Amino acid sequence: MLICTFFSSFLLLFKNTLSNQCYHCGDDEDSKQGAVYDPMLCRKIKSCADDEVCRVTTLNTAGVFTYESGCNQKLQCQILTIATLQSENIDTGVDVASILASAGKRDNPTRKRQQSICDICCGDGLCNDSDCESVKIRIMQFANATRFNYTTLKLIR
């Protein structure tokens, strides 16, 4: 019994430690790795701020695909992820305009990256562990089963 309690405590501590961490590679000043041509090569881990979640992006620049991952502001990610799911005909029950209004914003921040062909966020630790399309499919499966929290961007297990 003592071993089970210890193991459960260890798993909870381990999960909480990872819950605010993301894989990080991209073309920003904070990334030493840079954008990668294979998302599985992005293995640098970064601790995010409390108001950030993980993001993964696939970019197409003149026919060359690159992948960026990292931490991103949670409000921007909520809007981005909800809009992405709605574009896939998933009823999120959330109005993006109301999120913008509650934050005092008028502009949709998801329009700034014209070259991105896939862009999505997730709130679980190290959830940006694959290419954008794979992460999006995983989130869509949970959203369709009403097991995705649109506020925290976490899977409901």
pTM over 0.85: no
Q: Which domain holds residue 56?
A: 2-155
Residue 111 pLDDT greater than 50, yes or no: no
Percent of the chain with pLDDT over 90: 55
Q: Per the structure, how many domains does the chain have?
A: 1
Q: What is the pLDDT of residue 27?
A: 64
Q: Looking at per-residue confidence, does 8 or 48 come out higher? A: 48
What is the average per-residue pLDDT within 95-109?
Answer: 68
pLDDT band at 102 (very low <50, low <70, confident <90, very high): confident
Task: Report the alpha-carbon distance of residue 42 to residue 105 in Å, rounded.
Answer: 32
Whether the per-residue pLDDT at 114 is higher than 60: the answer is: no
Backbone angles phi, psi at 111, to 5 degrees: -90, 0
